[in-house]
Chains A and B, each alone.
Chain A
Amino acid sequence: MRSWGAAAALFGLLALGPASTAAQESGIALGSRAPAVVVKDLDGTPVDLARYIGTRPVLLEFWATWCEVCQALLPTVRAARQEFGDRVEFFGVNVTVNQTRERVRKYVAAEQPPFRTLYDEDGASTRAYAAPTTSYIVIIDRKGKVAYTGTGASQDLASALRAVTAP
C-alpha cells in the first residue's frame, strides 16, 4: 500500500514536472551560444567550461540530491554516457540550493552518477543557463550552440546526442 502511494506520488511528480517550466521559466534558448562559465568541482577546483564548449559536444545536467526526478532520470543519463561518453563531455551541475558539499559528496560516492560533478556554489551557471528546475539538461553541439534543453524524468537524450555527434 505504501509502495502504491510512493508510486502515485512519483507519477504525479513526473507528470507535473514541466508545468512550472511552462508557467514562467523556460531556460536558455535553443541555438544560442552556450555560456562558458567557470564552476568549481566538489574539491573546489575551478572548471572552465570554455575548455570544452566549442571543441566537442557537452551535456550539462542541473541536479540536486533531493531531486526525485533526477533520480528517476539517472538510468537514462547512465545509458547516454555509456553510448556517447567517448565523444561527449558529461557534467552534472549541482545547484547547491539546500545542499551541502558533504551531502553531495556522500551521494556521489553512493550513486556514482555518470558525470563529472560540479558544485555551483554562487549560482553562476544556474543563472547563465537560466536553469528553471532540477533535471534540466542542456546539450551543446561542437560549435558551442545549445542544441537541446529538457526537463523531467523522461527525456530522449539519445536522439539529441546522436544529432550532435553525427559527422
Chain B
Amino acid sequence: MSIRAIAATAIVLSVVTVPRLQAQTPAKDSSKGPPTAVMVSGPDVGRRAPAFQLPWANKDGIGPADQPYDLGLDRGKTVVLAFFPRDFTSGCTAEMRTFAEQYDSLFGPEVVVVGISTDSLATHTRFAASLNLPFRLLSDPRQEVARRYAANDRSGYLRRVVYVIGPDGKVRYRNLRFNALDPKHYTDLGAAVRRARTG
C-alpha cells in the first residue's frame, strides 16, 4: 500500500470515527430523570442546530406543500423545537395546551415555536384547532429530523424533547426528557428562552 493510500485511509477513518465517538458520549441533559436505555446524542448546547425542512399545519389548515417550515429561514430569531409523541394524547395535550395558554410568559412575541411529531398534517390541523394553538405543528412521519435531534423512538412515536435555538443558530438549551407534567421543566424552558432572546 502506498503512502498516499495509507494517508487517505487515515483521513477516511478519522472522519468516520469522530462522529461515532461523539454519539456515544453521554449527553449533558438539563433534566434529572432516571437513566434511559436509549443511547441519545443530538446537538448539545453550544452546537449548531441541524438544518431541516418539514411540512406544517396550524389551526387554520395545512401549509403550502412548496413552502415547508425551514429552520434556516428563522436564523436571527429564537426558535423552540418541541418534539412530542402524538396528537390528542393526554400528555401531549397537557404540554401543548400549556404552551398555548402561557405563550406570552413562556416564549414571547418574537420567538418561533414549532411542535413536531409523526402525525399527519390533517391530524395536526385538528389537534391545533382543538387547542387553539398559536404556533405550527410539523409532520415528521419517518422520524428523519427527530433522529438528528435524538427525539426518535422505535415505538413509532417521538420522544418528548425540547430544544431552544438562539438567533445564531446554535443550541442554547435542551431537555431530552421533558416531562409534560413537571412545572419545573416549563420554568426552566421559559428561563432558557429569555436567556436566548437577550443574548
Residues of A within 8 A of B (CB): 9, 12-13, 16-17, 19-25, 62, 64, 66-69, 95-98, 120-123, 126-127, 130-135, 151
Taking the nearest CB of chain B, how far is it from the CB of A104, in angstroms? Answer: 13
Residues of A within 8 A of B184 (CB): 122-123, 127
Which of these, A20, A23, A24, A130, contacts B90 with CB under 8 Å? Answer: A20
Q: 4 smallest A-B Cβ distances: which pairs? A: A23-B157, A20-B89, A23-B85, A133-B91
Question: How far, in angstroms, from A130 to B89 measured CA to CA in the complex?
Answer: 17
Tell yes or no: B183 within 8 A of A by CB: yes
The answer to whether B182 and A23 touch across the interface, beta carbons within 8 angstroms, is no
Question: How far, in angstroms, from A97 to B88 measured CA to CA in the complex?
Answer: 17
Which of these, B34, B91, B157, contacts A132 with CB under 8 Å? Answer: B91
Which of these, A16, A24, A64, A127, contacts B160 with CB under 8 Å? Answer: A24
The answer to whether A123 and B183 touch across the interface, beta carbons within 8 angstroms, is yes
Question: Which residue of A has the minimal Cβ distance to B95?
Answer: A97
A134-B88 contact in complex given A22-B155, A127-B182, C-beta closer than 8 Å: no
A19-B181 contact in complex given A24-B160, A98-B101, C-beta closer than 8 Å: no
Question: How far, in angstroms, from A22 to B34 measured CA to CA in the complex?
Answer: 16
Which of these, A22, A98, A123, A130, contacts B94 with CB under 8 Å? Answer: A98
The answer to whether B89 and A97 touch across the interface, beta carbons within 8 angstroms, is no
The answer to whether B90 and A98 touch across the interface, beta carbons within 8 angstroms, is no
How many residue pairs at the A-B interface have CB separations less than 8 Å? 107
Residues of B within 8 A of A133 (CB): 89-91, 94, 180-181
Sort chain B's interface into a size bin: 20 to 34
A25-B158 contact in complex given A20-B85, A67-B90, A98-B98, C-beta closer than 8 Å: no
Residues of B within 8 A of A (CB): 32-34, 84-86, 88-94, 97-98, 101-102, 130, 153, 155-160, 179-186
Which of these, A22, A23, A69, A97, contacts B181 with CB under 8 Å? Answer: A97
Question: How far, in angstroms, from A13 to B183 measured CA to CA in the complex?
Answer: 23
Residues of B within 8 A of A121 (CB): 183
Residue among A13, A66, A67, A98 with most chain B CB within 10 A: A98
Which of these, B84, B93, B181, contacts A126 with CB under 8 Å? Answer: B181
Taking the nearest CB of chain B, how far is it from the CB of A28, in angstroms? Answer: 9
Q: List 17 A-B contacts (CB under 8 A).
A: A16-B88, A16-B89, A20-B85, A20-B90, A20-B92, A22-B155, A23-B85, A24-B159, A24-B160, A95-B94, A96-B183, A97-B94, A97-B183, A120-B183, A126-B179, A132-B181, A133-B90
Which of these, B32, B97, B157, B183, contacts A22 with CB under 8 Å? Answer: B157
A134-B182 contact in complex given A19-B157, A23-B153, A127-B32, C-beta closer than 8 Å: no
Besides the known contacts A17-B89, A20-B84, A97-B180, 11 further A-B residue pairs in the complex with CB atoms under 8 A apart: A19-B85, A20-B86, A20-B160, A22-B157, A24-B85, A24-B159, A25-B160, A97-B94, A123-B179, A127-B33, A127-B179
Taking the nearest CB of chain B, how far is it from the CB of A134, in angstroms? Answer: 6
Question: How far, in angstroms, from A12 to B157 measured CA to CA in the complex?
Answer: 17
Question: How far, in angstroms, from A68 to B101 measured CA to CA in the complex?
Answer: 17
Residues of A within 8 A of B91 (CB): 20-21, 25, 132-134
